[in-house]
Amino acid sequence: MSQVVTEQRSEVEIEPREAMDYDVVIVGGGPAGLAAAIRLKQINPEFSVVVVEKGSEIGAHILSGVVIDPIGLDRLLPGWREDGDCPLKLQVTEDRFYLLGPSGGVRLPNFLMPPLMNNHGNYVGSLANVCRYLGAKAEALGVEIYPGFAATEVLKDETGAVAGVATGDMGVNREGKPKDSFTRGMELRGKYTLFAEGARGSLSKQLIASHKLHEGREPQKYGIGLKEIWRVDPSKHQPGLVQHSFGWPLASDTGGGSFLYHIEDNQVVVGFVLHLNYKNPTLSPFDEFQRFKTHPMIRDIFAGGKRLAYGARAITEGGWQSVPKLAFPGGALIGCAAGFMNVPRIKGSHNAMLSGMEAAEAAAKALADGRAHDELSDYEAGWRSGPIGADLKKVRNVKPLWSKLGTFIGVSLGGVDMWLNTLLGLTLFGTLKHGKKDCDTLKPLSKVTPIVYPKPDGVITFDRLSSVFLSNTNHEEDQPCHLKLADPSIPIGKNLPEYGEPARLYCPAGVYEVVYANEALRTDPRFVINAQNCVHCKTCDIKDPAQNITWTTPEGGGGPNYPNM
Ligand SMILES: Cc1cc2nc3c(=O)[nH]c(=O)nc-3n(C[C@H](O)[C@H](O)[C@H](O)COP(=O)(O)OP(=O)(O)OC[C@H]3O[C@@H](n4cnc5c(N)ncnc54)[C@H](O)[C@@H]3O)c2cc1C
Ligand code: SF4
């Protein structure tokens, strides 16, 4: 193992970290990271593989729809359908698409939908539970899994190649000083390190910048996905029904749509994805989601039901043209950290697993050849011509058309383009550009009509705080704030007068507030960060117009505790 050069990150005077050596270190225990770990052990049980996961357990931070295209699972664990332990049992029975207006909507005939949008043969369930299943499989194969540990630092060797990660120190107080419970982080050194942190991963973001992995690519685009799980009246439950909509409550120049899946046990999953290139700073993704549930064609499903869970998470939307260079000396990006989400299908878990397997195969070959800390060029070279590339290439113009031409024309043209791509391998548009980053799309307050949202009724619609309560979010209170402001004066000095400080509205967990000494007169505004409410969605890191907020990992184990999201 080559020498590892480490930075002193913590503000306290501390002893050196202990180090453990592995063949492969994996950051993130989602579908990408766990598929990579399993594939490595399938190829060679002697490989030493470790997975670090910031959630308190595998699955605790996983939030997804989820309708799963089984292509990834079929390749990873071909016998999963017969495996009684696999939580994915329910196949999609019916697929419906709606275009909604304020008081009604039309169902789009299924024959109009491009075949790749068809959910026939897909499974509906909980991705968190699928990850728990994959975690158990990985452990049975000898993978070491450390939940409750956040990777906070990329380790480099003397050549600058990535050589593993360090986990964060635990037991540091608000001022950065050690408490009685102080425990030093660990160095997990690997010949290769795979970053599977999901959308807008904090270390992945640093690596993309430091290795210029985004050069020559379109900017990554994002959406915020919000989700609730309801137990509904059994008479309204149709197991396996999968329903999507677009249109109301969003204006035509705002991209997004809903999903509504009937899973097992009289449960219905309802969610809303809102594209983060929205322009109106008074828009609130959380309140648009709440409003959606009140639509006359939707609200009856929830009448007499009970909301069980809530959460939110960013998704990547840039697709084919935004995927960065994946491999760099000593490591690679996999899953949504690389941006392998298929936006019109609202599916990424299959590509997350496939990319994890492909990176694992490249790493296994390199290890067998006695290599270490170099670039996994096979992985880099393979994805565009493989199944992930085939999945993303056909839909590459949907998001740019939607952004440029609005919901009605953009989505229709996107549909035509998907049909042509599927049937003839042709496109009318080449490969369209995405244009601006999501942080650059807001208009000043003076140029928009403010959106006013109805008050929650506490029955179908709710406020942020009662929602966060259902995410079981918990952080150690006495720790440094993990939401870092590069310039603390910007929220009140710039964002408030120009945009009304949009963090108050785009944060789905009520973390950011502007409070006034005198609320009525709006004097002496102060920006407050309730970091303990953070559900780790990463939206603030993406959407802040000044790019002043950096999401960093809090103490390991903190954050939401999603049961079956
Ligand atoms: C609302 C919504 C609906 C969706 N619907 C669907 C759907 O129906 N079908 C579908 O296929 N896909 C869907 N997706 C997308 C799907 O969830 C993702 O594509 C998939 O989860 C990506 O897997 P991943 O392993 O790359 O990342 P993730 O699932 O995000 O997992 C990353 C893991 O890494 C951990 N982590 C991150 N950083 C660190 C760190 N520094 N240290 C330690 N651990 C870390 C996180 O806690 C997390 O457990 C949806 C997503 C959303 C948000
Ligand atoms: S603080 Fe940021 S990452 Fe946390 S919930 Fe709010 S927007 Fe999401």
For residue 271 and ligand 1, the question of a CB distance below 6 A is answered with: yes
Average pLDDT of the chain to the nearest whole number:
95
For residue 345 and ligand 1, the question of a CB distance below 6 A is answered with: no
Please name the helix (run of DSSP H) or strand (run of DSSP E) that holds residue 382, with its range, or none. Answer: helix 377-382
Residues pairing with 147 in the sheet: 53
- With b for 16 or more beta-carbon neighbours within 10 A and e for fewer, the 422-433 pattern comes to eeeeebeeeebe
Ligand in closest contact with the CA of 70: 1
Q: Which of 97, 72, 73 is nearest to 85 (CA)?
A: 73
Q: What 3 state SS string does 334-376 have?
A: CHHHCCCCECCCCECHHHHHHHHHHHHHHHHHHHHCCCCCCCC
- The closest-lying atom of ligand 1 relative to the alpha carbon of residue 536 is 47
Confidence of residue 15 (pLDDT cuts 50, 70, 90): confident
For residue 473 and ligand 2, the question of a CB distance below 6 A is answered with: no
CB 310 within 8 A of CB 265: no
pLDDT, one tens digit per residue, over 233-290 is 999 999 999 999 999 999 999 999 999 999 999 999 999 999 999 999 999 999 999 9
| Ligand 1: centre distance to CA 335 (Å) | 8
| Ligand 2: centre distance to CA 531 (Å) | 8
Q: Which of 159, 161, 90, 165 is nearest to 130 (CA)?
A: 90
Quick one: residue 522, left, alpha or beta (phi over 0 = left, psi -120 to 50 = alpha)? Answer: left
For residue 535 and ligand 2, the question of a CB distance below 6 A is answered with: yes
Residue 132 amino acid letter: R
Residues 526-544: what's their mean pLDDT?
98
What residue owns the CA closest to ligand 2's atom 6?
507
At residue 542, does pLDDT exceed 70?
yes
For residue 66 and ligand 1, the question of a CB distance below 6 A is answered with: yes
Residue 182 amino acid letter: F
Ligand in closest contact with the CA of 66: 1
For residue 350 and ligand 1, the question of a CB distance below 6 A is answered with: yes
Starting at the edge strand that comes first in sequence, how are the strands of the sheet with 123-124 ordered? 67-68, 123-124, 90-91
pLDDT, one tens digit per residue, over 110-168 is 988 888 889 999 999 999 999 999 999 999 999 999 999 999 999 999 999 999 999 99
| Cα gap 316→333, rounded to integer Å | 14
Residues 191-215: what's their mean pLDDT?
98
Through-space distance between the first and last CA atoms of the chain, rounded to whole angstroms? 39
For residue 439 and ligand 2, the question of a CB distance below 6 A is answered with: no
Ligand in closest contact with the CA of 199: 1
Q: Mean pLDDT check: name the lowest of 9-18, 59-68, 94-103, 133-142.
A: 9-18
Residues 81-106: what's their mean pLDDT?
96
Please name the helix (run of DSSP H) or strand (run of DSSP E) that holds residue 26, with its range, or none. Answer: strand 18-27
| Ligand 1: centre distance to CA 91 (Å) | 21
Please name the helix (run of DSSP H) or strand (run of DSSP E) that holds residue 379, with its range, or none. Answer: helix 377-382
For residue 68 and ligand 1, the question of a CB distance below 6 A is answered with: yes
**Per-residue model confidence (pLDDT) at position 235:** 96
**How many angstroms separate the Cα of 401 from the Cα of each of 244, 409, 411, 434, 472?**
19, 8, 7, 9, 38
Please name the helix (run of DSSP H) or strand (run of DSSP E) that holds residue 96, with its range, or none. Answer: strand 94-100
| Ligand 2: centre distance to CA 304 (Å) | 31
For residue 135 and ligand 1, the question of a CB distance below 6 A is answered with: no
Token digits of residue 417: 């383009």
What residue owns the CA closest to ligand 1's atom 31?
30
Residue 105 amino acid letter: G
Quick one: residue 114, left, alpha or beta (phi over 0 = left, psi -120 to 50 = alpha)? Answer: beta
Residues 402-426: what's their mean pLDDT?
91
Quote the Cα angle for 119-123-126, to 5°.
125
Please name the helix (run of DSSP H) or strand (run of DSSP E) that holds residue 124, with its range, or none. Answer: strand 123-124
What residue owns the CA closest to ligand 2's atom 3?
538
Which 8-state DSSP code applies to residue 211?
T
**Per-residue model confidence (pLDDT) at position 4:** 60
The rounded percent of the chain whose pLDDT value lies above 90 is 93
Say if residue 455 is exposed, middle or buried (CB neighbours under 10 Å; 0-12, 13-18, 19+).
exposed
For a mutational test of ligand 2's pocket, the pick from 468, 551, 553, 562, i.e. the residue with the most ligand atoms closer than 8 A to its C-beta, is: 551
At residue 2, does pLDDT exceed 90?
no
**Per-residue model confidence (pLDDT) at position 3:** 60
Please name the helix (run of DSSP H) or strand (run of DSSP E) that holds residue 490, with its range, or none. Answer: helix 490-490
Number of residues that make up the chain: 565
At residue 8, does pLDDT exceed 70?
no
Enumerate residues 6+ apart whose C-beta is below 8 A from 283. Answer: 254, 274, 451, 505, 506
Residues 352-376: what's their mean pLDDT?
98
Torsion, Cα of 57, 62, 63, 68 (10° steps): -120
**Per-residue model confidence (pLDDT) at position 13:** 57
Confidence of residue 206 (pLDDT cuts 50, 70, 90): very high
Confidence of residue 9 (pLDDT cuts 50, 70, 90): very low
Q: At what angle do helices 31-43 and 349-368 cross, to 10 degrees?
A: 30
pLDDT, one tens digit per residue, over 477-493 is 999 999 999 999 999 99
| Cα gap 34→51, rounded to integer Å | 8
Q: Which of 512, 417, 422, 424 is nearest to 464 (CA)?
A: 512
Q: Which of 479, 509, 510, 498 is nearest to 548 (CA)?
A: 498
Q: Is the pTM of this model over 0.85?
A: yes
Q: What number of other Cβ atoms are within 10 A of residue 216's Cβ? A: 8
Q: At what angle do helices 31-43 and 127-140 cross, to 10 degrees?
A: 20
What residue owns the CA closest to ligand 2's atom 1?
534
Residue whose structure tokens are 């990985």: 138
Confidence of residue 366 (pLDDT cuts 50, 70, 90): very high
Ligand in closest contact with the CA of 351: 1
What residue owns the CA closest to ligand 1's atom 35?
28
Distance of CA 387 to the CA centre of its chain: 21
Confidence of residue 5 (pLDDT cuts 50, 70, 90): low
SS3 call for 192: strand
Which 8-state DSSP code applies to residue 152?
E
CB 254 within 8 A of CB 106: no
Enumerate residues 6+ apart whose C-beta is below 8 A from 366. Answer: 191, 192, 372, 374, 376
Enumerate residues 6+ apart whose C-beta is below 8 A from 235. Answer: none
| Cα gap 227→211, rounded to integer Å | 34
Residue whose structure tokens are 């004097």: 523
Residues pairing with 513 in the sheet: 528
Which 8-state DSSP code applies to residue 533?
G
At residue 1, does pLDDT exceed 70?
no
Ligand in closest contact with the CA of 71: 1
| Ligand 1: centre distance to CA 23 (Å) | 24
